[in-house]
Amino acid sequence: MVGTLVNTAAVIAGSGIGLAFKKNLPDKYQVIYFQAVGLFTMLLGVKMSLAMASPLLVVLSLVVGGFAGMMMRLEEKAGQLGDYIKARLHSDNDRFTEGLITGFLLFCMGSMTIVGAIEEGFGKTSDLLLTKSIMDFFSAIMLASGLGIGILFSAVLLLLFQGGITLFVSVVGKDIPAEIVSEITVVGGIILIGLSINLLKIKNIGILNMLPALLFVALFVWLKMYFFP
């Protein structure tokens, strides 16, 4: 868990610095920043998704996962959670929930999160998550300067999600097939493409409703490997 704890601390520290800069960052610079981040996020998502080996399973996972997410009302519940935390903090930041969700997706949907957490769960190395911590530190500075304190609280979601993967893998105690990790990364990349569309304000996509697709693609690839080799 060392890598995840360091990663969480890095996001908190970066967010603190970003919040200090927020007051002095003109709106026009925030706009160009989010356009740049949106384009980069789209490129990152495309790069991750190019490793797709089972297009049919990926599409099926996104559809079934999206249906499951809608049935569980993940997007709606995330908004309610964000509003609840905002009210408890007496925050007047009208982008709090957006920051919470954006931070979580950017910090947790990359291949470094999944592969790094799995490696740490097996007790191999924390190097990948430590490298990711440096990247997330600087990202948190800019994100918090634009979206506010919601980015700081996304560190809690990072701890739960990334740490949860590490703990799960350490308990399972056996290697997860590379095919499953690869397709999970592909679905994560597609989710990032959706996030980039939101950041660029092209269209509002219910990205959180698609998160169950990460579980479904792992299940479908496992079924294919063991029952339809």
Q: Mean pLDDT for the chain?
A: 87
pLDDT of residue 212: 92
214/211 Cα distance (integer angstroms)? 6
Task: Name the pLDDT band for 15 (thresholds 50, 70, 90).
Answer: very high
Instruction: Please say if the pLDDT value at position 30 is more than 80.
Output: no
CA 182, CA 180: separation in Å to the nearest integer?
Answer: 5
Arithmetic mean of pLDDT, 6-16 = 95
Q: Residue 23: what pLDDT?
A: 67
Mean pLDDT within 2-28: 87
User: At a CB cut-off of 8 Å and minimum separation 6, what does 100 contact?
Assistant: 78, 81, 82, 85, 150, 151, 153, 154, 157
Token couple for 127 = 């190097």
**Chain centroid to CA 116:** 14
Q: What is the pLDDT of residue 25?
A: 67
Q: Please check the confidence at residue 12 and state whether its pLDDT lies above 90.
A: yes
Indicate if the pLDDT at residue 58 is higher than 90.
yes
53 φ/ψ angles, rounded to the nearest 5 degrees: -110, -20
pLDDT of residue 193: 92
- d(C-alpha 204, C-alpha 72), whole Å: 19
Average pLDDT for 124-134: 85
Q: Sorting pLDDT into bands at 50, 70 and 90, what band is 90? A: confident
Measure the CA dihedral 19/155/157/192, to 10°: 70
Q: Does the predicted TM-score (pTM) go above 0.95?
A: no
Residue 33 confidence (pLDDT):
78
Task: Look at residue 8 in the predicted model and tell me its pLDDT.
Answer: 95
pLDDT in tens, 138-157: 889 888 888 888 999 999 99
- Whether the Cβ atoms of residue 191 and residue 210 lie closer than 8 Å to each other: yes
Query: What pLDDT sits at residue 10?
Result: 95
**Whats the size of the chain, residue-wise?**
229
- pLDDT per residue as tens digits for the range 171-218: 875 667 888 888 988 998 898 899 889 889 898 888 889 989 989 999
Domain boundaries, the chain: 2-53+75-182
